[in-house]
């Protein structure tokens, strides 16, 4: 599970310090660009710009001066964001883009390029441009290039080329007009050697603005490793940015960051571990839990997990302050799970859910419809599966396919993609839109089913009483529930 890819030389500094800006550009209010499926969410979720923040930490670790600008969290419009970045006088700028907002993201990058001196280099980054670098350069030909994959190694090459007074054309992970990106030969493996991302958050971001309903608020989001050893067809980060080898930080480093947060961010109540599958190495998880428990920190934590975590691991995690796990159950049809490469069974996931309840670990279940081979009957199987699992919360969405993923390629080959523009990945107000059809369901039918499934799950009398009791007896749960309910309930009833 923890085998290393080819070793990285990313710790070698550029020859001359630079001023590097990392920009999450404006789009819709509360647009959560940093999550796997970017959107304005029903629950009020707003992700940290985590890949930009980690790249900023790397650049600072190499001796460069940095700016991390999150226009969405700071509620800065385009004019204000352009002013903020230009005032920093950067030498190099990375502007992050995502599929639903890519036209606006690239347009912002182009306008920023025109405002800055000709010597300043502006590059687009993110999952979308990693998958479609040539298209992105065609849409924004005045940009200096596009970064393909994780940001740090290509940024290293850009800074080295700049110091040498040459173009980064042909450099690893850097695509420029007329020159494809050089092949990826390495990943960043020195994950311990950078400043903590929490330090970057404290200096540059409004921590109270970021919210995930599965974690206690205020919260920070960190990575303890990158890459995922599993091969789900729809999961965008491993297929466009991080790869399928799980590269881990040392537990000493992770625990030191937990301690740093407790000491320097006393307002923070929760830490979200955003690894694609934190529980991929359960022995590592148990060791982490034992050592974290011994520290006695005043923090809870949440993580992404696979629905196969053993009971003893769940108990160890809960005793170390784990609040809950986010788990992709995806479908109630074993045939569909096999088609998307889930690599597990309904029986295993159901046993896990009961073990989690036994261990006192909250579980947020993720379900989707519109998978290859989906039918109205299999959609009902998914709903019934969700209803019989002992889950604390759940989400139901149509399959969201993104460029660079096997799911996107399969849908395109089958003629099941329906959007005419990238903006169609979202509704006009920014909610997730349906971009696929199945043999017997169009996009509108899939969306209606998800809305129906959401109401069936949350409006059960037993569930409402359980939630009321949590809010009544636990102050932190009450804060989390009320903050999420402000937006979620309006959508729940409006979607009827």
Mean pLDDT by 10 residues, the chain (496 residues): 40 70 98 97 94 98 97 98 98 98 98 98 98 97 97 97 96 95 91 96 98 95 98 98 97 98 98 98 98 98 98 98 98 98 98 98 97 96 97 95 98 95 96 94 95 92 69 62 56 56
> What one-character DSSP code corresponds to residue 423?
G
**Residue the block writes with tokens 């991080």:** 242
Within the chain, all domains assigned CATH 3.40.50.2300 are found at: 19-175
N- to C-terminal Cα separation, the chain: 44
Helical ranges in 389-474 per DSSP H: 406-413, 443-458, 461-473
Q: Which run of H or E residues covers position 102? A: helix 102-115
Angle between the N-to-C axes of helices 251-264 and 282-295, in degrees from 0 to 180, rounded to the nearest 10: 40
Give the integer Cα–Cα distance in Å for 131 and 135: 9
Fold exhibited by the domain 212-494: pyruvate-formate lyase- activating enzyme (3.80.30)
Q: Pseudo-torsion of CA 148, 149, 150, 151, nearest 10°?
A: 10
Which residue do the tokens 């085998």 mark? Answer: 3
d(CA 230, CA 317): 22
Instruction: Match 């396919």 to its residue by tokens.
Output: 401
Q: Which structure tokens are listed for 430?
A: 């920014």
Asked if the bond preceding 218 is cis, omega within 30° of 0, the reply is yes
List, by residue range, all CATH 3.80.30.20 domains of the chain.
212-494
Looking at domain 19-175, which CATH architecture does it have?
3-Layer(aba) Sandwich (3.40)
Please tell me the distance from the alpha carbon of residue 300 to that of residue 321, in angstroms, as a whole number. 5
- Please state, in angstroms and rounded to a whole number, the distance separating the CA atoms of residues 151 and 241: 8
Give tens-digit pLDDT for 176-219: 999 999 988 899 999 999 999 999 999 999 999 999 999 999 99
H helix intervals, 265-375: 282-295, 311-319, 334-339, 346-359
Q: Are 67 and 21 in contact (CB under 8 A)?
A: yes
pLDDT of residue 43: 87
- Starting at the edge strand that comes first in sequence, how are the strands of the sheet with 322-330 ordered? 219-222, 270-273, 300-305, 322-330, 362-369, 393-398
Q: Which two tokens stand for residue 269?
A: 């109540």
Total residue count of the chain as it appears in this document? 496
Q: Quick check: 59 and 66 in contact, CB under 8 A?
A: yes
Contact 214, 302 (CB under 8 A): yes
Parallel, antiparallel or unpaired: strands 145-147 and 174-175:
antiparallel
CA–CA gap between residue 446 and residue 375 (Å, rounded): 10
**Residue 294, token pair as written in the block:** 């011994």
């Amino acid at each position: 599970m923890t085998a290393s890819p080819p070793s990285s030389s990313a710790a070698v500094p550029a020859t001359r310090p630079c001023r590097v800006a990392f920009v999450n550009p404006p789009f819709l209010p509360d647009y959560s660009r940093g999550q796997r499926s970017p959107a304005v969410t029903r629950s009020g979720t707003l992700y940290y710009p985590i890949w930009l923040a980690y790249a900023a930490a790397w650049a600072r670790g190499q001796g460069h001066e940095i700016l991390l600008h999150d226009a969405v969290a700071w509620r800065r419009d385009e004019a204000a964001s352009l002013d903020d970045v230009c005032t920093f006088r950067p030498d190099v700028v990375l502007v992050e883009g995502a599929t639903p907002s890519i036209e606006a993201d690239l347009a912002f990058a182009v306008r920023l390029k025109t405002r800055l001196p000709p010597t300043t280099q502006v590059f687009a980054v993110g999952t979308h441009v990693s998958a479609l670098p040539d298209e992105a350069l065609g849409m924004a030909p005045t940009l200096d290039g596009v970064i393909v994959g994780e940001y740090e190694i290509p940024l290293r090459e850009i800074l080295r080329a700049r110091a040498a007074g040459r173009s980064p054309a042909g450099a690893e992970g850097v695509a420029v007009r007329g020159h494809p990106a050089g092949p990826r030969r390495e990943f960043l493996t020195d994950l311990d050697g950078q400043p903590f991302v929490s330090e970057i958050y404290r200096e540059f971001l409004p921590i109270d603005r970021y919210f995930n309903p599965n974690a206690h608020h205020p919260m920070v989001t960190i990575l303890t490793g990158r890459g995922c050893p599993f091969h789900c067809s729809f999961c965008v980060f491993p297929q466009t940015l991080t790869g399928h080898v799980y590269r881990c930080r040392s537990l000493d480093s992770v625990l030191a960051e937990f301690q740093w947060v407790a000491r320097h961010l006393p307002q923070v109540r929760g830490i979200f571990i955003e690894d694609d599958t934190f529980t991929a190495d359960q022995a590592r998880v148990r060791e982490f839990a034992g050592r974290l428990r011994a520290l006695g920190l005043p923090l809870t934590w949440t993580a992404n997990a696979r629905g196969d975590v053993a009971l003893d691991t769940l108990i160890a995690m809960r005793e170390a302050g784990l609040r809950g796990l986010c788990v992709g159950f995806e479908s109630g049809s074993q045939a569909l799970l096999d088609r998307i490469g889930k690599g597990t069974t309904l029986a295993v996931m159901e046993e896990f859910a009961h073990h989690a309840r036994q261990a006192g670990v909250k579980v947020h279940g993720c379900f989707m419809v519109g998978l290859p081979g989906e039918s109205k009957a299999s959609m009902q199987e998914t709903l019934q599966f969700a209803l019989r699992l002992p889950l604390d919360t759940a989400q139901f969405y149509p399959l969201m396919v993104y460029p660079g993923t096997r799911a996107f390629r399969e849908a395109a080959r089958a003629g099941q993609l329906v959007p005419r523009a990238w903006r169609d990945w979202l509704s006009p107000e920014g909610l997730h839109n349906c971009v696929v059809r199945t043999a017997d369901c169009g996009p509108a039918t899939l969306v209606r089913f998800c809305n129906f499934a959401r109401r069936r799950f949350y409006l059960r009398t037993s569930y409402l009483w359980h939630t009321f009791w949590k809010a009544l007896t636990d102050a932190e749960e009450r804060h989390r529930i009320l903050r999420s309910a402000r937006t979620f309930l309006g959508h729940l009833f409006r979607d009827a």
